[in-house]
Structure 1
């Protein structure tokens, strides 16, 4: 049965065809070319010549009933007023004249409440504080219609468009239309749109995806002229192109396609020069022809939303010449790779034209580079991104809940799969304590976590096992007692029944997975678990206490390695160890741990010292994991020796300290902290201390420290993973050397390590960004499913 999709859009009055129409028509046409979708473009005439027309347009969409469709997609105001349980906003732009291009000389403050008639005072309250749900929409519609009825009795400036009240009314309607309870996903056609102030609700995760063009017949021809195509109005800045071309004195003519209100003025600017050719309106077939024979395409709009001209030029194998303030265009054009990005002035743009005209071979090379990238932007990729029912499904089995991410394992799973969820539906099946309720929640766009509560019988066995072994043993218990949680098996069975990929994260869910699922899976090994558990258990007593349980871990890990179709490890050392120990060949991909580069502010050493010029602060963060516990015990033993420093310990590892223990005066235990407090610690502490002597995988805390700008002091084992190099990116000190180094460390010496801090940041930025690592993960999974998938953007 086909999915029924409605693309909902405004029809401009008077009608104008542009990039928005290109997207709507292309999306609907390409969807209807599929056998599994039936799509319709639904448009309502939406004049916007005055405030009254704007309000009525918003109300028309709010009253539209499209419940007979499976999903609705809106891209532009006021279409997102539509009410539907499966509504995706793929934003092109808002009414820019009331947002980012609102005239600076106009007021933004609405009149005081007492100036409103009593019948309209509730409108003042709504304008001052828009609601974050659609529940008040009927009341808002009624009060707005009443406001229009008062037009002849209120000051004319209240109805000015643009104006303070009209601006506030549109912001109110957009806030209600975009409210999260009424919108499943917030997406944008470019990062420029996603980043604009007030375009999306606060704290909303906005997914960005570049869409293709509906223009057909694009090809690479000759190199005969410079070409541009736009509506001839002020924001497109064709006048800048003309002035730069005249200044450049190049031999290639300038062809300008399009018409609009500025055409007369710009023809005058061209001074009748026979080599500046105004083509007027051109058909799609003619447009493709002009692209084909251009030397380069010049496109210099001011803060463009996206700029299909850019993509079309690239598909024709042409370089693009643009300016640094062109908005979405600069997301596609990379200076010196597929075009030129000049400063927005006549002189700089003229120089770019000269360089291009003097190097047609280089222009062709840039054009080929752009074409190679642009050909990957497809309608099929956009379908998979936008249409929930068409997205491939990835199921991940794990024995602990992932959100909120605090420990290293949680952070890895959350960040890797939240990026994969941009292109696939990702479902995590996890366990939570018996005191919690089983539930399914969305923890990021496209990322669902099905949390299954452990049974009381299971938790009893888990507690007994931990007492026997002397260490927390919830993971091993999952191998031994999974039958005590039948709901877990049922959830895994239901989720994997429709999965395109299955990933077993850690080996501890193996028995539960195999009890209900016999297909192929990818094994994501966070550690070499047999080595890790052997080290932990051997420190707790004689082998007879743990021999059976260790054998169970080894057996499960062996099965995971040998039965899986792909193995993912955090480090090359773990991959080599697994392959060697369990005797497998031909599989094993390293996807190292990463860091949320955009989410952690970098603060340089000099900035830290200027902010906190007195005592140096040392930070250690860790979960309640035996190697971390040993590291904490070590720090407790050396803190008093290093009386010149203040030590801060954060994370669940703090629970390992007996509450009756007397702590060194210069050491503070913070336990588990919020994300906001964690960022504060990363920004306020000067040194990240990592005295690790055991464990497997790699240390996420080291990557976060590097991303934040802390100086890393670590054992060589603690900085394993291959990203950071001792001396260049961190200070390598073994356990016996650390006290002396720290005791002698002064603020001035810390400043001398600024280059080390900067180098570590550059290494992390280049090699450890979760987004890039997720792309590598996707490519590693790709051969396991012949249906393919889309690009991460």
Structure 2
């Protein structure tokens, strides 16, 4: 076969990962196959609106019919028209897919008379006839439009719509014979591949020859010096690290001078500039570890080259492609994208040279499976397949309903929704419909390509009725109000109906939206996810008057109906399942226990030295006790006890995070000076609280469900004083690492903590973290739940 590889030549020319991929493919085809291969590159400027449109049009007019197969991988090269066109996709034009401009997004293009024909084309189904017509109209438009016109903003709304339209036409399954992607990260991006297409994942290897392992003399990174690679994060981390080893930075780019200024005061940081391939091989060989912290990288050859050299990699939780190879405490360190977390990984690496070498060997085993021979063989296999083999079956669709918004997660309930269903979105299409506060407009939040949250604000009438109910009960009642008053927000019910008509499984997390779900289930399966035993929870919260008793009966009826009509009941604890069976005689319904967990990629493990640094940074010098909780009766009881103990510890500080603090502020006219209520906070502020505290408190004595906060405490490296009830859902190995006692023993245990210099023993705290990662990280928890949900559809 004659194979053509078609690619853009960047203007001005620079060598990046794409160029290395094309060269490697050409060489590998010629070396490992009998086929003839040519690399065709066309100059492709893309610095403004006009040049980008021209580049797209040039490729659309290239005739390569003298080749049997054409392989493209990047815009605008895939505009080439060929009967056997294989798209091995690197990435789309990320500035027009991953970013937006607020002003441009508000532009109403239809209101501009000069855009009437263009807008009409852009609103039609994309195909080659329409693309040709679009280029003709754009040529006339660009000849007339002033160069400083805001319609020519780049990036801007018009160019964004034009490029999306062209890409849709070019990458339509009618035009592309087979699809591949350089990583799972690329394959899963929103709008990168047509609906129903599952691309083959083909990891490209490095072109560097002779990669090997020799010494452990320094930390090393190599990349283009620009914002996306975030070398500034590494410099900030080095300044917080205690290591004496240098950091060598290879590469050039627009941020070089700024980065050198940032690093100027640290003699350990050295910039090498452009480095030849052979020198690069040597630099990898003598590194202790390779640091690589880009944002949402498509693939990232650097970790593969590091692994080929037997080196572990330190990367971050939002790095994208590298996370498909770098596994925390297996092939390197995966930490939060924060200088303090990266610095801790650097120091940990320095203190454990043998472990670093083991991680490097584990990475080497992965890299050995990624070869040019395998890449070209699998590309050729795609040519032999028929196009229909790349259309994936429809994934089951879940409708999840909520009485409160979930994104961004700020409390335990939100965190469970967000992280559990995000993990499940690997196997299901998930539509989360939630009630938002009154005012504003409905909005959709795309959490990933298969998980979205639609937020519908309550109507003013709905909100007024809810407020009246809260005055009667003196507690938040948004959940029960949703059961009573959602008819006052018809748009919410319309959204539920629309999603339910397409759902294979309907999930009610809490029973409060049951009146709007059960009557119209049709053929969908119904799952009741019981966060708590709601009857027991509300019994401790509602007033003991006629209003409270009446509302409690409504809750009991809702919960009973949820249990009796379910195909599957989900609880956080086995004890909750037993209690539901006792109350509602639902033993014959299938059930599964899905415990509360933690997102280990977001919760940073903090050792004692870093805690001291955090304290200094925010101006605290005293010992800090931490409690986190939402406004529920069991949490209020626990927080009330903490306020009582605070008088016996006047030199210590007490941080109370979460809406439970609002309940305290209502109850106490004036809180003690050493008790600080932060209210609901974002994930960053919560991480700060977890980083400055010395000991976590969990004086829970009632309630159902499980305490998600205790998992976060242990994951962050905090010692925990708790009741046995408070850790009833934890694995026994984790319970053994806590200080256990009843409420009368808490003051003594707190005093022991003050007097115990070994409280933050690193080995013990890391052991707790490891158990959490293995058993209570959300992806691990979601696996069994996914199996149970799929079994409902058999």
Aligned-partner Cα distance in 2 for 1:470–1:329: 50
**Correspondence for 1:564:** 566
SS of the residue aligned with 2:540?
helix
SS of the residue aligned with 1:554?
helix
Aligned-partner Cα distance in 2 for 1:380–1:783: 27
**Correspondence for 1:620:** 627
Bigger mean CA offset, 470-479 vs 490-499:
470-479
Do the aligned partners of residues 509 and 239 (structure 1) sit closer, same or farther apart at CA in structure 2, a change above 3 Å counting? Answer: same
**Correspondence for 2:786:** 778
**Correspondence for 1:476:** 480
**Correspondence for 1:155:** none
1:530 aligns with 2:535: yes
- Of 541, 550, 553, 1:551 maps to 553
Superposition map of 1:284-323 within 5 A? none
Aligned-partner Cα distance in 2 for 1:401–1:45: 51
Bigger mean CA offset, 549-558 vs 752-761:
752-761
**Correspondence for 2:601:** 598
**Correspondence for 2:657:** 650
Normalising by structure 2, what TM-score? 0.57
CA deviation string 1:649-697 (max 9, x = no partner): 1222221134672222222122222322122111121222121222211
**Contact map agreement 1:323 1:343 (CA 8 A) in 2:** no
Aligned-partner Cα distance in 2 for 1:426–1:381: 25
**Contact map agreement 1:595 1:768 (CA 8 A) in 2:** yes
1:418 aligns with 2:422: yes
- Of 757, 767, 774, 2:775 maps to 767
SS of the residue aligned with 2:495?
helix
Aligned-partner Cα distance in 2 for 1:379–1:590: 42
1:686 aligns with 2:694: yes
Superposition map of 1:286-365 within 5 A? 324=310, 331=324
**Correspondence for 1:513:** 517
CA deviation string 1:192-228 (max 9, x = no partner): 9899xxx99xxx9xxxx995379xxxxxxxxxxxxxx
1:428 aligns with 2:432: yes
- Of 632, 644, 647, 1:637 maps to 644
SS of the residue aligned with 1:647?
strand
**Correspondence for 2:757:** 749
Aligned-partner Cα distance in 2 for 1:20–1:530: 66
Superposition map of 1:206-245 within 5 A? 212=200, 235-237=206-208
Q: How large is the RMSD of aligned CA atoms in angstroms?
A: 5.8
Aligned-partner Cα distance in 1 for 2:159–2:605: 32
**Contact map agreement 2:405 2:414 (CA 8 A) in 1:** yes
Do the aligned partners of residues 411 and 64 (structure 1) sit closer, same or farther apart at CA in structure 2, a change above 3 Å counting? Answer: farther
**Contact map agreement 2:625 2:696 (CA 8 A) in 1:** yes
**Correspondence for 1:373:** none
Aligned-partner Cα distance in 2 for 1:618–1:695: 22
Instruction: Give the superposition deviation at 1:641.
Output: 0.6
1:697 aligns with 2:705: yes
**Contact map agreement 2:182 2:204 (CA 8 A) in 1:** no
Instruction: Give the superposition deviation at 1:564.
Output: 1.4
Aligned-partner Cα distance in 2 for 1:344–1:748: 31
Q: Give aligned pairs, total.
A: 554
Superposition map of 1:140-179 within 5 A? none
Q: Which has the larger radius of gyration?
A: 1
Aligned-partner Cα distance in 1 for 2:389–2:534: 38
CA deviation string 1:550-606 (max 9, x = no partner): 222222222222221112211222223223432322511111111111112111134
Do the aligned partners of residues 616 and 322 (structure 1) sit closer, same or farther apart at CA in structure 2, a change above 3 Å counting? Answer: same
CA deviation string 1:232-268 (max 9, x = no partner): xxx4456569x9xxxxxxxxxxxxxxxxxxxxxxxxx
Aligned-partner Cα distance in 2 for 1:495–1:79: 38
**Contact map agreement 2:570 2:592 (CA 8 A) in 1:** yes
Aligned-partner Cα distance in 1 for 2:549–2:387: 56
SS of the residue aligned with 2:604?
coil
Instruction: Give the superposition deviation at 1:329.
Output: 10
**Correspondence for 1:497:** 501
**Correspondence for 2:714:** 706
SS of the residue aligned with 1:521?
strand
Do the aligned partners of residues 416 and 329 (structure 1) sit closer, same or farther apart at CA in structure 2, a change above 3 Å counting? Answer: closer
1:442 aligns with 2:430: no
Instruction: Give the superposition deviation at 1:767.
Output: 1.0
Runs of 4+ displaced beyond 6 Å: 15-22, 49-57, 129-136, 172-185, 191-195, 302-308, 326-330, 332-335, 342-345, 378-382
**Contact map agreement 1:393 1:499 (CA 8 A) in 2:** yes
Do the aligned partners of residues 380 and 480 (structure 1) sit closer, same or farther apart at CA in structure 2, a change above 3 Å counting? Answer: farther
